[in-house]
């Protein structure tokens, strides 16, 4: 029996598969529906977790529960590109926790500190390739060697302002890198499910007040946004030309794209990221510097879109169908949008001190002032939905950074603890609906 709350990432034997296993003392169907007074434990793929159970009420959402995701992905080889980045490092930790054999392919982390190193992600990997997605030879060898069941393609040049400084590299990494992944899979000719991660900025942004649907026009003012729109077109071309679901029985490679943005969470030290600046400012005892404090954004915790990617991949693995091989939006429910300045106010309130100043300039590079996603499709068809309101996402992010700067050695534990808490929210449907409940139900009705 494991000690309650003890969570860590330690693989005793990376060469053998370690499926999700539930402690024999647990008698309920769901590993999360345990007696609050019992000491039942859950073991995931060499990590151990025995969280305190909480009373819970079944949610109205008929969603894909965390145990279904684990059942679909446990013992599967999941090839993650970009696993040394912010989202990729969280995703690798979560996949390992779920029992997947995680293979990472990426360049070394480009910031110090970084979550890949701080959270000890390397030790949770079955294999690790340090290479560029533009190197099709290295990429092809890695894919051929590991023979993945699932590919989650996150590797990218992800920064808008960096795309102005180096547009050519942005297009080469984002578009050509994705084409390389798909062309390698076409050549290998082995069944797998592929989710290519793009962005909410792939839409032709008209600064409209309603959210963009997956069928809306693609576009892109800045090179980053345009590169992601071009990536969507390239993926669509490969899917129709080489991997049409009803005519690719010899390979059964299924491909989907996922669009999300404005993700916050602990461990993001990328340049020009708002929360990164706020955390550093709080530590340094100076005002945070904001370029566009009035810009309205749909903020979400990093685990929200990652749960969407996992839900989509699990559907593609467990019940292969052309209905999953499409584009999907993952964002917060309506009402969780905040201006950048309001986000900063809440962050510093959660931190306990700090403030910000506007450093925007009239001639600074263009960045969107208003951008929202419509998530009706993912809510209604995948059963995915957000779990944490924007206030909780901000508080958790501030807490993660504050704890990191106080105790850097605790980063992995902090990540795994948040993943465990998010899993319990998924299993129990603990999202605090408040005034968003009606709109959520309406979203399901419209998408069904």
| Domain edges within the chain | 66-270+299-337+368-447
When mean pLDDT is compared across 17-21, 124-128, 297-301, the lowest value belongs to 17-21
How far is Cα 327 from Cα 332, in angstroms, rounded to an integer? 17
The candidate with the shortest Cα–Cα distance to 199, out of 9, 341, 327, is: 327
* Beta pairing class for 296-298 and 337-339: antiparallel
- Answer yes or no: is pLDDT of 1 > 90: no
* 349 half-sphere exposure, CB direction, 13 A CA radius: 10
pLDDT at 55: 31
pLDDT given for residue 366 in this prediction? 64
Find the mean pLDDT for residues 326-333. Answer: 95
User: What is the C-alpha to C-alpha distance for residues 424 and 51, in angstroms, rounded to an integer?
Assistant: 9
Mean pLDDT of 35-55: 32
| Confidence grade of residue 393 (pLDDT, cut at 50, 70, 90) | very high
CATH architecture of 66-270+299-337+368-447: 3-Layer(aba) Sandwich (3.40)
150-153 and 327-329 as β-strands: parallel, antiparallel, unpaired?
Answer: unpaired
Least confident of 99-103, 203-207, 278-282: 203-207
Q: Decide which of 438 and 295 is more confident.
A: 295
Q: In the predicted model, is pLDDT for residue 245 greater than 70?
A: yes
Q: How much is the pTM?
A: 0.82
Neighbours of 131 (CB within 10 A): 17
pLDDT for residue 367: 67
Using CA atoms of 404, 405, 407, 409 in order, give the dihedral in degrees to the nearest 10. Answer: 60
- Closest by CA position to 194, among listed 138, 234, 137: 234
**CA 268 vs CA 113, 121, 131, 149, 265: distances in Å:** 9, 14, 21, 28, 7
Q: For 20-40, what is each residue's pLDDT tens digit?
A: 332 333 333 332 232 323 322
How would you class 313 by CB atoms within 10 Å of its CB: exposed for 0-12, middle for 13-18, buried for 19 or more? buried
Give me the residue label for tokens 């370029």: 291
Instruction: Write out pLDDT tens, residues 276-307.
Output: 999 999 999 999 999 889 888 889 999 999 99
Q: How far apart are CA 237 and CA 186, in angstroms?
A: 13
Residue 244 is predicted with a pLDDT of 85
């Amino acid at each position: 029996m494991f000690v309650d709350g003890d969570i860590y990432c330690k693989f005793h034997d990376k060469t053998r598969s370690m499926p999700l296993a539930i402690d024999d003392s647990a008698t309920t169907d769901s590993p999360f529906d345990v007696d609050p007074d019992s000491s039942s434990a859950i073991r995931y793929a060499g990590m151990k977790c025995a969280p305190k159970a909480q009373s819970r009420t079944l949610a109205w959402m008929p969603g894909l529960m965390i145990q279904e995701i684990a059942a679909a992905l446990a013992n599967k080889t999941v090839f993650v590109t970009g696993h040394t980045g912010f989202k990729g490092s969280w995703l690798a930790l979560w996949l390992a926790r779920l029992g997947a054999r995680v293979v990472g392919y990426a360049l070394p982390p480009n910031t110090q500190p970084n979550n890949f190193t701080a959270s000890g992600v390397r030790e949770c990997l079955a294999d690790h390739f340090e290479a560029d997605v533009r190197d099709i030879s290295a990429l092809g060898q890695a894919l051929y060697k590991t023979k993945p069941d699932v590919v989650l393609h996150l590797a990218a040049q992800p920064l808008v302002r960096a795309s102005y400084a180096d547009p050519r590299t942005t297009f080469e990494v984002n578009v050509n890198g994705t084409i390389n992944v798909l062309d390698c899979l076409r050549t290998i000719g082995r069944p797998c499910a592929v989710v290519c991660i793009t962005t909410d900025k792939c839409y032709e942004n008209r600064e409209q007040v309603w959210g963009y649907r997956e069928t809306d026009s693609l576009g892109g003012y800045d090179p980053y946004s345009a590169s992601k729109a071009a990536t969507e077109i390239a993926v669509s071309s490969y899917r129709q030309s080489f991997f049409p679901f009803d005519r690719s029985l010899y390979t059964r490679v299924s491909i989907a794209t996922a669009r999300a943005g404005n993700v916050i969470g602990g461990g993001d030290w990328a340049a020009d990221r708002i929360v990164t600046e706020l955390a550093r400012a709080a530590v340094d005892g100076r005002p945070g510097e904001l370029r566009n404090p009035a810009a309205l954004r749909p903020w979400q915790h990093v685990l929200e879109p990652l749960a969407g990617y996992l839900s989509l991949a699990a559907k593609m693995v467990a019940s292969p169908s052309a209905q999953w091989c499409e584009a999907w939006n993952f964002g917060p429910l309506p009402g969780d949008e905040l201006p950048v300045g309001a986000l900063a106010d809440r962050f510093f309130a959660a931190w306990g001190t700090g403030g910000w100043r506007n450093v925007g300039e009239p001639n600074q590079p263009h960045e969107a002032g208003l951008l929202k996603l419509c998530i009706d499709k993912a809510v209604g068809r995948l059963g995915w939905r957000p779990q944490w309101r924007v206030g909780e996402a901000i508080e958790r992010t501030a807490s993660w950074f504050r704890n990191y700067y106080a105790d850097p050695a605790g980063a992995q534990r902090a990540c795994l603890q948040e993943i465990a808490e998010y899993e319990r929210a998924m299993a129990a449907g603990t999202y605090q609906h408040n005034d968003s409940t009606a709109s959520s139900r309406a979203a399901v009705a419209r998408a069904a």
